[in-house]
């Protein structure tokens, strides 16, 4: 999503290499040694890779290796119990979670066990009827169906009551999970979790599907004692690495070490069209060899295109739709399921936008909420499956931790919440601090869920903010870091093709970011019914296409001829066999010279409203009021979002100061509800009223002019 920094709030970007200093000379020397461009070489040097040998290791992933699966605590116990179940024909249940990590874990282990002729069923809980984690009702059902072994994937490490129930019903449990552990572990056959305090495995950042993969590797080795462990692990890897890649990327796990190797192998499998369901979803989404965009699958479009579609089913209803797609071997059925998922994802997007608008309305109506270190919002009608995505968007927008809670369920007094962190706040620790006000909680440091009683909302909000107050100095979001400030001549198709060598990108191996300064806006084009914006920008006598995803034309607040700075990643757009560079905007802001206009406006407006300056030509008349009020009313009678005061002023052919004064007066007279966030971002609602208002009664105008309005003269 392209973050549009408000005109009055400029963000500094840390550039590791400016591209115009002696450091570029060093990169140029390095580039000759490895036969790559100097910009590509700079990116490697930025990441501490500064020798030809290290460059080759990183590009070819020779440095990453897979650790012995038996390094994980309790793995030997889990393998013995599972092999015994397979050999004796016991019925095994694989119990997962409804997100992509959980779904891919269930698919991987189910397919693997069935390939060993194990009597295997799966259980994927419903977000709405079962809730997060294991449920007692599900355990009873599985036991009544004859299961004598339950293997959890991506869940179970805090399922104390449920695992006790399973044991009482005569069913053993093996837990494989990667979530944060409590001080005590469940009393089960085995708990395989790299987050255990006593875990000594070399790599501890596995996703849930990564742990399931390790478990499958260990069982494969046990079932084939005369094969080398390397051969066994290789077989499992080349059969299931695509599922590992999907779950690992979707769960935002660090793409370093084992994760980087497994994800790279998995993406290669996807591009070889190895699994029918993934191929069908990629093509239905417009990517892959048969997609309309004719692009190869990368970690970026796994993250932003495939994962949201797989997640959508579990968010809005039944996650088994995604699971069936990944299990399907019939291409015709797979394509039908993929189309259904795309339709569900569209509904998810619509609901997400509705909740986002509602949450922003709450922020506008309670401006003091923006001062909290942790934003906590709740509502009775937000969809439980969508609030996590909206929390992430709000966290990015306000650069603060956000927790959203909904009471949209059968029990109107029990709410479900989802939080996303920002800065250095560990959400799980924050929730632990406030646990006296919670029924249940769990998750990761950056994303967590909770269950809460309505009566505890205010106390909970106060408690998590109290915890965050002790981290005040560390809650500020970190500045965005770019690899290189580019010249126009640097940004080429050849460079973008080189960047693919650094894949897979993600947490721990971020997409290279670049900076353009003082680029001129040549055109502004709305996309997808106005949801996104395409810019044509001119830089160094070259024209580039820049995409601002998730930002409307209003929100960009740009006009032709504006000069902007861009923080962006670069990709290749291939259309009709022609390749062109495509800029993906992460942030943009007005160039330094354009900023002066807004600095002057803010100072002038402040002086006028404080009574230390004269409004002069910016004092509005009746026709000015009529023009702007008509504009607001025509835009939308309900809540409307505009990115900047300059946009409103430009559309009314007024000065920025005059438009701001008019908004203040209209709000004072009760004609609009109005607020400003992000320095210059305006949100307003036109109030429906048959009562006429007298401009002469405005205290603001009286202070500014001292006499009544005189038709603008």
Q: Of the residues 590, 620, 646, which one is the last residue of a structural domain?
A: 590
Q: What is the pLDDT of residues 5-41, one digit of tens each?
A: 554 455 778 888 654 555 567 778 889 999 999 999 9
Q: 323 — phi, psi (to 5°)?
A: -65, -40
Share of the chain above pLDDT 90, in %: 55
Residues 485, 544 share a domain: yes
How far does Cα 312 stand from its chain's mean position?
A: 14
CATH code for the domain in which residue 645 is found: 1.10.10.10
468: in domain = yes
Residues 521, 442 share a domain: no
Q: What is the pLDDT of residues 616-667, one digit of tens each?
A: 888 898 899 999 988 888 776 445 555 567 778 878 888 888 888 999 899 8
Measure the CA–CA gap between 468 and 370, rounded to whole angstroms. 14
Query: Which tokens hold the place of 447?
Result: 């994303």
Measure the CA–CA gap between 692 and 690, rounded to whole angstroms. 6
**pLDDT-derived band of residue 670, with 50, 70 and 90 as boundaries?**
confident
30: in domain = no
Number of Cβ within a 10 Å radius of residue 643? 22
Measure the CA–CA gap between 468 and 474, rounded to whole angstroms. 9
Number of Cβ within a 10 Å radius of residue 271? 17
For the residues 339-347, what does the mean pLDDT come to? 94
Residues 646, 686 share a domain: yes
Tell me, what's the pLDDT at 341? 95
46: in domain = no
Q: Of the residues 343, 368, 393, which one is the last residue of a structural domain?
A: 368
Per-residue pLDDT for 128 more than 70? yes
Q: What is the pLDDT of residues 134-159, one digit of tens each?
A: 999 999 999 999 999 999 999 999 99
**pLDDT-derived band of residue 711, with 50, 70 and 90 as boundaries?**
very low
Residues 302, 232 share a domain: no
CATH code for the domain in which residue 470 is found: 3.10.310.30
Query: Which tokens hold the place of 483?
Result: 């690899």
Whole-structure pTM over 0.95, yes or no? no
681: in domain = yes
Name which of 545, 565, 564, 558 is nearest 491 in CA terms. Answer: 545
For the residues 458-466, what does the mean pLDDT come to? 94
Residues 106, 196 share a domain: yes
Residues 424, 302 share a domain: no
Residues 547, 408 share a domain: no
Residues 459, 381 share a domain: yes
Task: Give the ranges where 73-207 is alpha helix by DSSP (H).
Answer: 75-87, 100-115, 136-144, 160-168
Q: What is the pLDDT of residues 272-292, one digit of tens each?
A: 877 999 999 999 998 865 544
Share of the chain above pLDDT 70, in %: 90
**pLDDT-derived band of residue 701, with 50, 70 and 90 as boundaries?**
confident
Number of Cβ within a 10 Å radius of residue 33? 12
585: in domain = yes
Name the residue with higher pLDDT: 477 or 618: 618
Q: Of the residues 346, 368, 390, which one is the last residue of a structural domain?
A: 368
Residues 487, 469 share a domain: no
Residues 80, 228 share a domain: yes
**pLDDT-derived band of residue 680, with 50, 70 and 90 as boundaries?**
low
For the ranges 293-302, 392-401, 414-423, 639-648, the lowest mean pLDDT is seen at: 639-648
**pLDDT-derived band of residue 710, with 50, 70 and 90 as boundaries?**
very low
432: in domain = yes
Residues 294, 232 share a domain: no
52: in domain = no
Residues 677, 545 share a domain: no
The half-sphere exposure of 413 on its side-chain side, counting CA atoms within 13 A, is 2
172: in domain = yes
Q: Which helix (H) or strand (E) holds 14?
A: strand 14-17
Query: Which tokens hold the place of 418?
Result: 């989802």
Q: Which helix (H) or strand (E) holds 565?
A: strand 563-575
In the chain the first and final C-alpha atoms are separated, in Å, by 46
CATH code for the domain in which residue 304 is found: 3.90.1640.30
Please check whether residue 277 is in contact with residue 328, taking contact to mean a CB–CB distance below 8 angstroms: yes
Tell me, what's the pLDDT at 675? 74
Q: How many domains, in total, are found in the chain?
A: 5
Give the domain range for residue 455.
374-474
């Amino acid at each position: 999503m392209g973050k549009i920094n408000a005109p009055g709030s400029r963000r500094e970007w840390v550039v590791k290499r400016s591209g115009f200093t002696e450091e570029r000379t060093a990169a140029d020397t390095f580039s000759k040694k490895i036969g790559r461009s100097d910009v590509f070489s700079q990116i490697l040097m930025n990441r501490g890779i500064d020798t030809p040998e290290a460059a080759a290791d990183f590009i070819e992933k020779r440095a990453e290796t897979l650790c012995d699966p038996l390094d994980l605590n309790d793995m030997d116990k889990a393998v013995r119990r599972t092999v015994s179940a397979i050999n004796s024909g016991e019925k095994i249940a694989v119990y997962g979670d409804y997100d992509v990590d959980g779904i891919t874990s269930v698919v991987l282990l189910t397919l693997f066990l069935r390939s060993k002729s194990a009597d295997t069923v799966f259980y994927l809980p419903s977000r709405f009827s079962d809730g997060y984690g294991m449920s007692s009702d599900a355990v009873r059902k599985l036991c009544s169906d004859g299961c004598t072994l339950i293997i959890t994937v991506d869940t179970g490490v805090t399922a104390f009551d449920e695992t006790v129930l399973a044991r009482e019903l005569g069913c053993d449990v093996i837990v494989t999970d990667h979530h944060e552990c409590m001080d005590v572990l469940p009393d089960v056959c085995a708990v395989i979790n790299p987050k255990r305090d006593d875990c000594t495995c070399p790599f501890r950042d596995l996703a849930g599907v990564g742990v399931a993969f390790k478990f499958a590797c260990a069982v494969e080795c046990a079932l084939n004692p005369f094969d080398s462990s390397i051969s066994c692990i290789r077989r499992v890897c080349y059969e299931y690495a695509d599922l590992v890649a999907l779950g690992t990327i979707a769960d935002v796990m660090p793409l370093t070490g084992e994760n980087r190797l497994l994800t790279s192998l998995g993406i290669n499998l996807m591009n070889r069209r190895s699994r029918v369901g993934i191929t069908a979803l990629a093509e239905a989404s417009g990517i892959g060899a048969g997609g309309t965009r004719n692009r190869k699958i990368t970690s970026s479009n796994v993250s932003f295109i495939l994962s949201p579609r797989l997640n959508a089913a579990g968010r809005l209803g039944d996650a088994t739709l995604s699971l069936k797609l990944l299990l399907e071997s019939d291409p015709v059925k797979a394509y039908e399921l993929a189309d259904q998922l795309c339709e569900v994802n569209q509904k998810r997007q619509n609901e997400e936008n509705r909740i986002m608008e509602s949450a922003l309305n709450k922020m506008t109506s309670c401006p003091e909420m923006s001062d909290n270190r942790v934003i906590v919002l709740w509502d009775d009608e937000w969809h439980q499956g969508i609030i996590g995505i909206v929390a992430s968007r709000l966290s990015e927008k306000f650069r603060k931790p956000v927790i959203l809670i909904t009471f949209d369920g059968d029990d109107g007094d029990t709410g479900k919440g989802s939080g996303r962190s920002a800065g250095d706040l560990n959400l799980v620790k924050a929730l632990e601090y406030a646990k006296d006000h919670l029924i249940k909680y769990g998750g990761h440091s950056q994303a967590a869920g909770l269950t809460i009683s309505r009566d505890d909302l205010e106390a909970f909000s106060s408690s998590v903010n109290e915890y965050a107050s002790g981290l005040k100095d560390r809650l500020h979001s970190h500045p965005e870091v770019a690899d290189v400030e580019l010249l126009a001549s640097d940004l080429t198709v050849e460079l973008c093709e080189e960047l693919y060598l650094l894949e897979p990108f993600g947490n721990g191996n971020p997409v290279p970011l670049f900076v353009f300064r003082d680029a001129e806006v040549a055109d502004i084009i709305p996309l997808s019914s106005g949801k996104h914006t395409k810019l044509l920008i001119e830089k160094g006598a070259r024209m580039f296409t820049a995409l601002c995803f998730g930002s409307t034309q209003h929100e960009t607040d740009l006009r032709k001829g504006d000069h902007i700075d861009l923080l962006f990643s670069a990709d290749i757009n291939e259309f009709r066999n022609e390749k062109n560079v495509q800029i993906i905007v992460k942030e943009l802001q007005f160039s330094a010279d354009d900023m002066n206009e807004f600095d002057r406006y803010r100072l002038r407006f402040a002086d006028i409203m404080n009574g230390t300056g004269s409004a002069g030509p910016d004092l509005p008349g009746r026709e000015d009021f009529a023009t702007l009020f008509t504009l607001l009313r025509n835009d939308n009678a309900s809540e409307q979002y505009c990115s900047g005061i300059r946009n409103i002023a430009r559309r009314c052919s007024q000065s920025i100061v005059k438009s701001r004064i008019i908004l203040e007066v209209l709000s004072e007279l009760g004609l609009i509800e109005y607020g400003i966030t992000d320095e210059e971002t305006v949100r307003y609602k036109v109030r429906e009223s048959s009562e006429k208002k007298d401009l002469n009664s405005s205290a603001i105008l009286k202070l500014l002019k001292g006499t009544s309005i005189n038709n603008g003269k």
